Amino acid sequence: MFRWKSTAAVLAIAALALTGCAGGGSGDGSGGSGGTLTLGAITAPTTFDPAGSEWGNRAPFYQAVFDTLLLATPEGEIKPWLATDWSYNDDNTVLTLTLRDDVTFTDGSKLTGDVVVQNLERFKAGTSPDAGYFAGVSGFTAPDDKTVVITMSAPDPAMLNYLTRDPGLVGSAASLTSADVATTPVGSGPYMLDTAATVTGTSYSYKKNPDYWNKDAQHYDNLVINVLSDPTAALNAIKAGEANGVKLANNDALTEVEAAGWTVNSNELDFQGLLLLDRAGSMDPALGNVKVRQAINYAFDRAGLLKALQTDHGTVTTQVFPETSAAYDPSLDSYYDYDPAKAKELLAEAGYPNGLTIAMPTVSVLGATTYTLVAQQLADVGITVQATDVAVGNFIADMLAPKYPATFMALEQNPDWQLIQFMIAPTAVFNPFKYQDPQVDDYITQIQYGDAATQASVAKELNKYIVEQAWFAPFYRVQGSFATDANTTVEMLPTNAYPAIYDFVPKQ
């Protein structure tokens, strides 16, 4: 069923510094109930100000101290959290939330509608990369202490799921205007940041919130999150028993992880492949021809790339919508076979019998081998890649400027409406050329304003259309892996790279 939900983009593209491992489980690595849960994360938060927060791999740092208005579950559902109930008006432009009346922040202040409105307004105007989620919101109001009303200029089928993530984080009112809001978070979450024991950028220490409103969600007395940017550092922490759970940056060492007695928990959240951005051909006329874009899709041996680059940890696909989406169609996972002859034939029909050249950026963190294989397979059908190496810090900015007509990229496969807003709509972040297609615009309008049945059926039509029109050239969905020790269990989320803090439980 098409839900009014979405997921935030997870873009692990920053340069990650090598850091050491700090601490261990609960002295014996057990992480048992009442002890310490020690986790490894890929990257540190840039701020603890909710208005500048992010999700994805930075989610646990925030979720430990702040509650969200709604909760995303491992089953893919949205459930009450700070908000106990919600409802829309008839045209889905006004969302009314009912708040809990038993929530206290760690500074002793109470959760009220006015406090929530302050947080929502700050997020909309803030520095978070996800602030745009509220671009269509025309106002936030609190009619009383238990009610918050979000008014939108048009329906946003993703709004509920936004509120399960960084836009839904709620800090105490006093903390939002304090001088140390970026370093000293004050929330109502299950833990409190111990700033004295925290080493910014390296290790973050938390203590159990004794007044937490949901005791059943607190499984540990203490929480430590160590930043393990380097895969070797993460593997060493696993082998040494210096953590209870570690997010793995890649799948290169899964055999060693399992040999250490750890469990590899997985989901398929990201896809990797080419973004054929200049679909109008304004920078590269060739990409404006659908036959060229289709030829590019036929050029890739996706099964071979999955084996070579991900040791078969993933699923071949030619669609960007995930299995959790109403738009998903299993037949579209194999719409384009590996057919170099067909690719050459299409290029000739498009007016390029002698091939063509496409400019693309490269960046070190996405792997030299990847770019080599992509260039080789395109060269096999007559397409030459004109590669420009870009500094890590400039890669996304250059892509979105836009400075290149196409690029290899790893992106989160968001379900339904958010993927549309993320990659497909004229205003989407990863549609930097603002490309529009009248048929796609019509599908988007039907999804935005339609009922549930219409949304589901039209989403499938949209998905099929953009695959046929070759807006992208996906290779595969990548297995995301999170390792847990013998004393810890966790349930993975279908919509985020990092599990929820509440879903870590000690084995009894």
Concatenated DSSP letters of 12-29:
--S----------SSSSS
* pLDDT of amino acid 129: 86
Span 269-479 CATH architecture: Roll (3.10)
Q: How many residues does the chain have?
A: 508
> What's the alpha-carbon Rg for the chain, to the nearest Å?
23
Q: Which residues contact 62 (CB under 8 A, 6 or more apart)?
A: 45, 48, 50, 53, 55, 166, 169, 185
The whole-number average pLDDT for the span 313-340 is: 96
Between residues 229 and 122, the one the model is more confident about: 122
Residue 392's pLDDT band, with cuts at 50, 70 and 90, is confident
> By three-state DSSP, how is residue 346 classified?
helix
Phi, psi dihedral angles at 335 (to 5 degrees): -65, -40
pLDDT higher than 80, residue 293: yes
Residue ranges matching CATH 3.40.190.10 in the chain: 36-262+485-506
Q: Are 501 and 63 in contact (CB under 8 A)?
A: yes
* pLDDT of amino acid 167: 97
Pair of tokens at residue 73 = 């579950």
Half-sphere exposure of 37 (CA within 13 A, CB side): 29
Pair of tokens at residue 470 = 């070759």
Q: Which residues contact 120 (CB under 8 A, 6 or more apart)?
A: 134, 137, 140, 148, 150, 167
DSSP characters for 249-305? SSSTTHHHHHHTT-EEEEEEEEEEEEEE--TT-SS-GGGGSHHHHHHHHHT--HHHH
Residue 415's pLDDT band, with cuts at 50, 70 and 90, is confident
- What's the first-to-final CA gap in the chain, in angstroms? 36
Pairing status of strand 383-389 against strand 488-490: unpaired
Matching residue, tokens 């019998």? 353
Matching residue, tokens 């050491």? 20
* pLDDT of amino acid 4: 35
**pLDDT tens by residue, 57-89:** 999 999 999 999 999 999 999 999 999 999 999
Give the type of residue at 35: G
Specify burial of residue 125 (Cβ count, 10 A radius: 0-12, 13-18, 19+). exposed
- The partner residues of 473 in beta bridges, in order of sequence, read 274
Question: In this structure, which topology does domain 36-262+485-506 adopt according to CATH?
Answer: D-Maltodextrin-Binding Protein; domain 2 (3.40.190)
The whole-number average pLDDT for the span 413-437 is: 92
The whole-number average pLDDT for the span 414-421 is: 89
Residue 33's pLDDT band, with cuts at 50, 70 and 90, is low
Q: Are 426 and 434 in contact (CB under 8 A)?
A: yes
Q: Are 106 and 207 in contact (CB under 8 A)?
A: no
The whole-number average pLDDT for the span 163-168 is: 97
pLDDT higher than 60, residue 14: no
Matching residue, tokens 């973050």? 204
Phi, psi dihedral angles at 144 (to 5 degrees): -155, 180
Task: Give the whole-angstrom CA distance, residue 286 versus residue 156.
Answer: 35
Rounded to the nearest angstrom, the gap between the alpha carbon of residue 391 and the centroid of all alpha carbons in its chain is 22
CA-nearest of 278, 284, 242 to 260 is 242
pLDDT higher than 50, residue 369: yes
Task: Give the whole-angstrom CA distance, residue 293 versus residue 287.
Answer: 6
Task: Give the whole-angstrom CA distance, residue 389 versus residue 360.
Answer: 9
Separation in Å, CA 211 to CA 70, 169, 172, 480: 20, 18, 15, 35
Helices (H), 195-253: 231-239
pLDDT higher than 80, residue 30: no
Task: Give the whole-angstrom CA distance, residue 352 versus residue 459.
Answer: 34
pLDDT-above-70 percentage for the chain: 93
